[in-house]
Structure 1
Amino acid sequence: MIIPETAERVALEARWLELTRQDLPAAATNDWPIRLDHCFQRVLLDVACEGVWYDRITGRPAYRHAPDDVLRKAVILGEDVLMGRADLRTLNQRSLVWRGKVPRP
């Protein structure tokens, strides 16, 4: 899918990259189950897609091909993790279950 380059989309992608490459990894504590940028991207996109992101987003890199509503939801979720309003452990677990990496609780 071709995503139009609007000013809003450019800002959304910039915030996504800043959030997942800088802010979340810098905020990660020993209590967090993940620390690496690509892990944050996996979890946030999976939850925003309500399943494994590559079942819904076909192009790579995913953030460039994600529909606006999905990327916006992932950014908001990342902001919530950063502010302590979302439980990263639960979100990561959900992502891993969808991917068949751990059994359903």
Structure 2
Amino acid sequence: MRFDHCFQRILLDGAAGGVWYDAIPKRPAYRHADEPLLRRAVEMGEAALRGEGDLGLWNRRSLAWRAGRRA
């Protein structure tokens, strides 16, 4: 993870349970996501700050969802 958008991708994908742009109808995501999805993303970010979330795992999962989407 190198950029802000990577952090956003990881949290939004995790909150959506897949590629976030399949769950959020328009961009930008923060403006068009429903409140429950945004709350889940924030909760994941807060868990990561507390050391209770595995960003590496979440990143790999996000990338795998995206790789599968291209197939």
Tell me if both proteins adopt one fold, taking TM over 0.5 as the criterion: yes
* 1:75 counterpart (18, 38, 42): 42
Q: What is the CA–CA distance in structure 1 between the aligned matches of 2:47 and 2:20, rounded to whole Å?
A: 19
* 1:87 counterpart (50, 54, 65): 54
Alignment of 1:92-103 (within 5 A): 92-100=59-67
Larger radius of gyration: 1
TM-score by length of 1: 0.62
- The share of aligned pairs that are identical, in percent, is 59
Partner residue in 1 for 2:4: 37
Q: Which runs of 5+ in 2 are unaligned?
A: none
1:63 alignment partner AA: Y
TM-score by length of 2: 0.91
Aligned residues: 68
Q: Which runs of 5+ in 1 are unaligned?
A: 1-33
The superposition leaves residues 47-98 of structure 1 with CA deviations (integer Å, 9 ceiling, x where unpaired) of 0000000001011110110010000000010011111100010000000000
CA RMSD, 1 decimal: 1.1
**After the TM superposition, which segments of 4 or more aligned residues of structure 1 sit over 4 Å from their partners?**
none
